Amino acid sequence: MGARYYLSDEAGRSVEATKVTVIMRGLRVALSLLMLLAASGVASACGDSAGPTGDIGQGGGRIGLPCTDDSECAGAKCGSISGGNSTERVCTLPCTSDADCSNFSLARKCGVLDGGERGCTHGCPNGALICIDGVPTACSVAGDSHCAECGCPADMVCKPDVGCEKKHGVGEPCKDDFDCNTTNCSTFAHVCRVPVGQSCTIGNCDRCLSTGDGWSYCSRSCDSDFSCNGSRCIGGIDTGYFCTPGCKGFSDPACHGKCTQISNAPGQYCDCSECSVDEPLRELGQVCSLNSQCKSGSCYHFVKEVGYCSVDCSAGSGCEANLACVSVPCAPGETSTCGTKCLPLCATLKCEFPASCRTLQKAGSGSVEVCDLHREDGASCTTDAACLSGACVQTRCAAAGPLDNGMPCKLPTDCKSSNCNNGTCRGTALIGDACQTQYDCAAGGCCSTKKCGTGC
């Protein structure tokens, strides 16, 4: 005889039932329990992505998850973390140390939230949270001295370890465009100029274009349209690149000149060939690319590169403050960019690329660190004169004399091996011959067996 199954009816009486009926009743009970748990905000073991069962309790597995108000945090608090350009709100619980947060997989750190409250949160740096002595801290309470990580309001600029300062106005000192409320910092005088495109004079603009009818336009040197405040960066390697007014169609009445199609990009620019161009003459030590830009009439630079306004000098005379009279060695075959020159002191000025800080002999006695344009082996170059070795090979300064395998070359005579292959010195070893590097092999490559071979 098979097993008998009994269930209670609605009146509580025990009645006989089939096996299927019992199973169905059990499933309904289990489903009801699951629905009850879900309604109470308690997650099942596999139904909550917030983490281990330690999350369950106050906060109901919500700790560390995004929220908009306390009602979404199942008894916990919806905390705010803001500062800089970021704001977020997450479910959190009060804490005094990381140990209080160890059970929350999404918020294992005890951080400092808005208002200085301590609460469990995620690690740092992350959004408006920065690390201060290892503690996640909201930018809103970190203080201005952390503006390098948190940022500043739009009308202010960050001075690391100092704080947010008001951006500077026209004529005030600057290091870059971000320092100026005009977003135009002079590339040589390091003072704020009027915005690119605005009316100008020689006293408030690096390069002021004008016509006889009263129109003027503040230009500047540039490397892309992003430097030009909505205008176009136009020019060439030989002439330099400058911000230039754009125009809309070849008959644009706003164009003081000829509206011309840009040769290598969409759009037009206003070619004002008859405009007057006024540039303030530059002092000794200021950046230049042409002799005509300098009061001294001498720009110490190499072709197609920037340099410094300088002058020939002698011990104790010829140079101004923040400059030194030094003896610049002549590279082989060089005469025009060497001798005694006034150059900026590294101690008072950051060297402008491609210059670097080098120790040179003073014109009198002793030595000093100055910004010099001559380069060591391996540095980028455009001319032989820029290299201390006197050899610029494949845009890199090369050592004087025959070169080792692997070095850039122009001619076979540049290489110790007398084998210049596709601009690189290579050895003469053939398949099966000994090698140390791939450049030792005239054919194939250097295998792990230290022999030249193919397919290795």
Rounded to 5 degrees, what angle do the CA atoms 11, 17, 20 make?
A: 125
Closest CA to 217 of 192, 246, 237: 246
**Full 3-state SS string of 260-297:** EECCCCCCEEEECCCCEEECCCECCCCEECCHHHECCC
- pLDDT band for position 59 (cuts 50, 70, 90): low
Mean pLDDT for the stretch of residues 341-351: 90
Separation between Cα atoms, residue 266 and residue 279, nearest integer Å: 29
Model confidence pLDDT, tens digit, residues 276-307: 999 999 999 999 988 889 999 999 988 778 89
Model confidence pLDDT, tens digit, residues 381-440: 888 888 888 888 878 888 777 888 988 888 898 899 999 998 889 999 999 999 999 999
Residue 178 pLDDT greater than 80, yes or no: yes
Closest CA to 43 of 31, 58, 60, 29: 60
Q: φ, ψ for residue 248 (rounded to 5)? A: -120, 90
SS3 assignment, position 304: coil
Model confidence pLDDT, tens digit, residues 73-127: 988 999 999 986 778 999 999 999 999 999 898 899 999 999 999 999 998 988 8
Residue 15 pLDDT greater than 50, yes or no: no
- pLDDT band for position 41 (cuts 50, 70, 90): very low
